[in-house]
Amino acid sequence: MHKPLMDVAIPQGSADALTIAVEQLVRHVRLSATTGGLSSAASFVLSRLAREGPQRLTELARAEGVSQPNMSQLVNRLERGDLVRRTADHSDGRGVLVEVTDTGVEVFLRRRAERALALQQLIDELTEQEQHAVAVALPALARVIEDRRPPRS
Rounded distance between C-alpha atoms, residue 89 and residue 134, angstroms: 41
Query: So what CATH class is 35-147?
Result: mainly alpha
CA distances from 75 to 27, 63, 102 (A): 23, 14, 16
Say what the pLDDT of residue 152 is: 61
- φ and ψ of 109, to 5 deg: -65, -40
Say what the pLDDT of residue 89 is: 82
* Other Cβ atoms closer than 10 A to 56: 16
Residue-level pLDDT, tens digit, the chain, 153 residues: 445 555 556 666 678 888 888 899 999 999 999 999 999 899 999 999 999 999 999 999 999 999 999 999 999 999 999 999 999 888 877 788 999 999 999 999 999 999 999 999 999 999 999 999 999 999 999 999 888 887 765
Break the chain into its structural domains and give their ranges.
35-147
